[in-house]
């Protein structure tokens, strides 16, 4: 790992730029409901690194989050695919019970890259989440999920994920054919970076570890307030 890569993986930068978040700052990573303006997913996270090229954040185990569920209380992932996107929904608070997740987002890119570990810090995989480019506001970043994802493994193999959900979202009218093709094109561009083993896959982030002094971020009561620059 080069010195630059080591600094990147530790979340270090030479000096903070105006308007950037310092390492250790707690912000909100939110997703809007598809086709709507209001957030329906909120995950408090800790800033690892914030530069003009990259925002890296850490979602700690036990983080209290907000996510959608069906109005009858059924978790979204347990609802049959045919009705998953048409039944009424509500929001619920939950805790992230798995190991923590490191999330990396580059400005203007229609995807972010997440790193997952198993117990004992055994690296599991990268996860390319296709989404709207993030919009920054004073307390965090907002995006909209695009259903289709890409898993990348340590041996550099990869596979598409959630293609059935991507197709069903189109059938349910959550995205039209033109948007679906833009998402597919974004996925192909992301895959090109995987095949060339570009940043962030080649940057050593799988060796990164969070500062043990960082507390688990708090979910604020006004987590859903309108984000303003």
Structural domains in the chain plus CATH codes: 3-207 (2.40.380.10)
Separation in Å, CA 83 to CA 74, 77, 144, 162, 163: 12, 11, 20, 16, 16
What is the token pair recorded at 87?
Answer: 């039944």
List the structure tokens of 16.
């903070």
- Average confidence score pLDDT of the chain: 92
Per-residue confidence (pLDDT) for residue 41, from 0 to 100: 98
At residue 136 the predicted structure's pLDDT band, cuts being 50, 70 and 90, is very high
Percent of the chain with pLDDT over 70: 91
Tens digits of per-residue pLDDT, 91-107?
A: 999 999 889 999 999 99
For 47-80, b where at least 16 C-beta lie within 10 A, e where not — what string? bbbbbeebbbbbbbeebbbbbebbeeeeeeeebe
Report pLDDT for 19: 78
> Is the preceding omega at residue 153 within 30 degrees of 0, hence cis?
no
The 10 Å Cβ neighbour count of residue 205 is 23
Phi-psi label, residue 114: left if phi above 0, alpha if psi -120 to 50, beta otherwise: beta
> Which element (helix H / strand E) includes 2?
none
Q: What pLDDT score was predicted for residue 226?
A: 82
Omega of the bond leading into 200 within 30 degrees of 0 (cis): yes
Backbone angles phi, psi at 158, to 5 degrees: -150, 165
Provide the pLDDT confidence category of residue 3 given band limits of 50, 70 and 90: very low
Residue 21 in tokens: 């978040």
pLDDT at 37: 85
Which of 94-98, 122-126, 144-148 has the least mean pLDDT?
A: 94-98
Tokens of 205: 């982030």
Q: Mapping DSSP to helix (H, G, I), strand (E, B) and coil, where does residue 130 land? A: strand
Q: Is the pLDDT of residue 14 over 50?
A: no
Evaluate if residue 1 carries a pLDDT over 70: no
Mean pLDDT (whole number) for 126-139? 97
The confidence score (pLDDT) of residue 45 equals 98
- The confidence score (pLDDT) of residue 227 equals 75
Query: What per-residue confidence (pLDDT) applies to 16?
Result: 53
pLDDT-derived band at 15 (thresholds 50, 70, 90) equals: very low
**Which pLDDT does position 13 carry in this prediction?**
44
Cβ burial of 19 (10 Å; 0-12, 13-18, 19+) is exposed
pLDDT one-digit tens code per residue, 157-216: 999 999 999 999 999 999 999 999 999 999 999 999 999 999 999 999 999 999 999 999
């Amino acid at each position: 790992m080069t010195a630059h890569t080591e600094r990147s993986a530790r979340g270090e930068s030479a000096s903070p730029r105006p308007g950037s978040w310092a390492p250790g700052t707690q912000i909100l990573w939110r997703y809007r409901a598809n086709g709507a303006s209001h957030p329906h997913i909120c995950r408090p996270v800790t800033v690892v690194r914030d530069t003009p090229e990259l925002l890296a954040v850490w979602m700690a185990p036990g983080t209290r989050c907000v996510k959608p569920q069906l109005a009858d209380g059924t978790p979204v992932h347990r609802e049959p695919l045919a009705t998953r996107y048409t039944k009424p929904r509500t929001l619920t608070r939950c805790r992230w019970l798995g190991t923590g997740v490191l999330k990396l987002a580059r400005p203007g890119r229609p995807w972010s890259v997440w790193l997952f570990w198993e117990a004992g810090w055994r690296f599991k995989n990268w996860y390319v989440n296709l989404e709207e480019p993030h919009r920054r506001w004073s307390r965090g970043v907002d995006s909209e999920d695009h259903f289709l994802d890409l898993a990348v493994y340590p041996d550099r193999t990869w596979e598409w994920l959630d293609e059935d959900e991507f197709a069903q979202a189109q059938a349910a009218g959550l995205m039209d054919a033109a948007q679906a093709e833009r998402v597919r094109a974004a996925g192909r561009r992301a895959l090109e970076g995987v095949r060339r083993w570009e940043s962030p896959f080649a940057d050593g982030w799988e060796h990164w570890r969070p500062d043990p002094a960082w507390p688990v971020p708090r979910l604020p009561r006004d987590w859903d307030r309108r984000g303003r620059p």
